[in-house]
């Protein structure tokens, strides 16, 4: 439960809505690695909680559609990939992903005012797959919309960003 709260705090700290230092969500202390931003914040549970973030922006509306974050649980040492998706997510349909030929099984954790959060563990096999490809796909369905939505998530800069994240 504490990891879910940590991921929730990190995802929402860069999240989908305004009030951030720049339009892309980065603050002056954040570091860019390709399409990923390393963001660190203090929480009650951890002195320096850090995660790599990437926002997916709609080409049509120029508004954020999703925000992805990768962070390590300091207690279990588990690396997790989380995504915050818009409210109205068809929860029974779930959230799925694919990196190369490897499926990514997201579990919807909760929905809050800013959106619905799904996450998955990034084990060594998935991490190796992510390092060997340029992007992964995430698919979800919104209620009352017949067709699912698939987002392409760039992995440009992820490997370098993870090295710095692990050193924090």
pLDDT digits (tens, 9 = 90+) for 126-167: 999 999 999 999 999 999 999 999 999 999 999 999 999 988
How many angstroms separate the first and last alpha carbons of the chain? Answer: 22
Chain-centroid distance of CA 137 in Å reads: 12
For 97-136, letters b (16+ CB in 10 Å) and e give bebeeeebebebbebeebbbbbbbebeeebbebbeeeeeb
SS3 141: coil
For the stretch 12-54, pLDDT in tens is 444 443 333 344 555 557 899 999 999 988 877 666 789 999 9
Rg of the chain over CA atoms, in angstroms?
15
Domain span at residue 52 reads: 2-167
- The pLDDT value recorded for residue 46 is 66
Q: Which helix (H) or strand (E) holds 11?
A: helix 2-14
At residue 15, the pLDDT reads 45
Q: Which residues contact 57 (CB under 8 A, 6 or more apart)?
A: 63, 64, 65
Which of the pair, 139 or 8, is modelled with greater confidence?
139
pLDDT score for 37:
96
Q: What is the pTM of this model?
A: 0.83
Burial 46-82 (b: 16+ CB within 10 A, else e): beebbbbbbbbeeeeeeebbbbbbbbbbeeeeebbbb
User: What CA–CA distance (Å, rounded) separates 10 from 5?
Assistant: 9
Instruction: Report pLDDT digits (tens) over 49-76.
Output: 899 999 999 888 898 999 999 998 877 8
Interval 79-122: pLDDT, tens:
999 999 999 999 999 999 999 999 999 999 999 999 999 999 99
What does the pLDDT read at residue 112? 95
The domain tally of the chain equals 1
pLDDT of residue 2: 46
CATH, residue 120: 2.60.40.1880
């Amino acid at each position: 439960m504490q990891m879910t709260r940590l991921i929730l705090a990190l995802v929402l700290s860069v999240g989908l809505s305004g009030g951030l230092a720049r339009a892309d969500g980065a603050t002056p202390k954040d570091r860019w690695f390709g399409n990923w931003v390393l963001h660190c914040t203090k929480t009650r549970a951890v002195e320096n909680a850090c995660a790599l973030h990437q926002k997916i922006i709609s080409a049509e509306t120029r508004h954020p559609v999703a925000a992805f974050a990768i962070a390590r649980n300091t207690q279990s040492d588990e690396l997790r990939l989380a995504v915050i998706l818009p409210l109205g997510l068809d929860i029974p349909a779930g959230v799925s992903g694919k990196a190369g030929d490897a499926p990514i099984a997201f579990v919807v954790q909760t929905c809050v005012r800013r959106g619905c959060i799904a996450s998955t563990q990034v084990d060594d096999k998935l991490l190796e797959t992510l390092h060997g490809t340029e992007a992964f796909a995430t698919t979800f369905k919104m209620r009352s919309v017949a067709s699912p939505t698939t987002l392409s998530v760039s992995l440009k800069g992820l490997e370098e960003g993870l090295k710095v994240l692990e050193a924090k």
